[in-house]
Structure 1
Amino acid sequence: MVTHYTILKVASDAPIEVIRAAYRVLAARHHPDRCAGEPAALQRMQRINEAYRVLSDPSLRAEHDATLQHKRRRRASDGGPRAAALTTQTAADSVAPAVIALRRRAAEMYTAHAGLGVRSRH
């Protein structure tokens, strides 16, 4: 399922600083001026802008999260007992990997953003 989180490549519990950094990196990489001659660049940039607009606004982000939660519950109820068991993980099982993934992603984005303007022309 494609969500605003997957478009910006951030975890669903990412703080606004991480979302902002991810947006800046993706916007610089996929900007239509930078990707001249690529017809899909404008569409990609529009999706990135929309994802950032929703995730940077607390009320829109809460709506988006509620919609995702509703879809997950509906999918779990359609999928039988195995799908329901997968969605009822304990908080302890899901928090540690999420924190690790968030820290790793933040470090990757910082590295990508810091080296964004530096390109060798050899």
Structure 2
Amino acid sequence: MKDHYKILGVSPGSSQDEVKKAYRLLALRHHPDRNNGSRQSEELFKEISESYFILVDKSSRKAYDDWQHQQSKPATERPESGNAMAVSFLMVFRNIRERVFNTGSHIESATLFEIINEVLCTENLNYLVDVEDIATNGLIIDELVIASKFLDDPSKIILYRKLIRLAHGNVMLREKVSVLSNIRYNPVKEPKGNDYSEDYAYLFVVFLIVLILFGIIMG
């Protein structure tokens, strides 16, 4: 995950007002409209907005700080359960969804996707799958499916693939994710034992009829 403090040029101990001030200065300096629509400025502006989105809210900032703290420890010293960290990720995604709706839907689709895609990066996705906290992962899927309402179709497809990975074969979770693709998840049903016997019985009867007819013709 990116170092959001470094991107905004503030320290982890900075106040919320300092975060807001840093964001305003950087956003003004790198806004695409002030840089002749520069592609580089556009990408930098998205990155700045993403970092601000994570750090300006106390709950998502705390979850991000907790994640950074755990990652700074040697692997042997990290908690084995991981449930607390999974809940921290849930808090981040819930904050994203709430802030999207609080803006009255006035949010750029590309920026929203960048934020979601960054938090749900491969490393974090693998972590959530390995923890196997089905309840928390289900809530994360719920939050992201709701927030995805404001994404364009290509972004939804990418998010769909990531959430299918997060569902990790769980039928209930895959059913939640299927909303994104408008495809109902239908698990493959295993054939019942007597299905085979019925098929063989039918073939045996057909075979007998063929033999009888063959005997009549030859006779």
TM-score of the pair, normalised by structure 2 = 0.33
Q: CA deviation at 1:38?
A: 2.1
| Rounded Cα–Cα distance in structure 2 between residues aligned with 1:64 and 1:41 | 25
How many residues were matched structurally? Answer: 77
1:117 aligns with none
1:116 aligns with none
Deviations 1:31-66 (A, max 9, x none): 000111421111111111111111111110011101
Deviations 1:65-98 (A, max 9, x none): 0111111113797xxxxxxxxxxxxxxxxxxxxx
1:7 aligns with 7
Percent of aligned pairs sharing the same letter: 34
| Rounded Cα–Cα distance in structure 2 between residues aligned with 1:14 and 1:37 | 31
3-state SS of paired residue (2:45): helix
2:41 aligns with 41
Gaps of at least 5 residues in structure 2 are: 78-219
Higher relative contact order (CA 8 A, sep 6+): 1
Shifted more, 61-70 versus 37-46: the winner is 37-46
Amino acid at match of 2:49: N
C-alpha distance 40-69 of structure 1, shift in aligned 2 (>3 A): same
Q: Which has the larger radius of gyration?
A: 2
| Rounded Cα–Cα distance in structure 1 between residues aligned with 2:10 and 2:37 | 28
Pairing of 1:82-93 with structure 2 (within 5 A)? none
Structure 1 stretches of at least 4 aligned residues deviating more than 2 Å after TM superposition: 74-77
3-state SS of paired residue (2:11): coil
| Rounded Cα–Cα distance in structure 2 between residues aligned with 1:74 and 1:48 | 29
Amino acid at match of 2:11: A
3-state SS of paired residue (2:34): coil
Pairing of 1:43-82 with structure 2 (within 5 A)? 43-74=43-74
| Rounded Cα–Cα distance in structure 1 between residues aligned with 2:18 and 2:75 | 29
| Rounded Cα–Cα distance in structure 1 between residues aligned with 2:15 and 2:6 | 15
C-alpha distance 47-75 of structure 1, shift in aligned 2 (>3 A): farther
| Rounded Cα–Cα distance in structure 1 between residues aligned with 2:32 and 2:56 | 22
| Rounded Cα–Cα distance in structure 2 between residues aligned with 1:15 and 1:5 | 12
RMSD: 1.9
Gaps of at least 5 residues in structure 1 are: 78-122
TM-score of the pair, normalised by structure 1 = 0.58
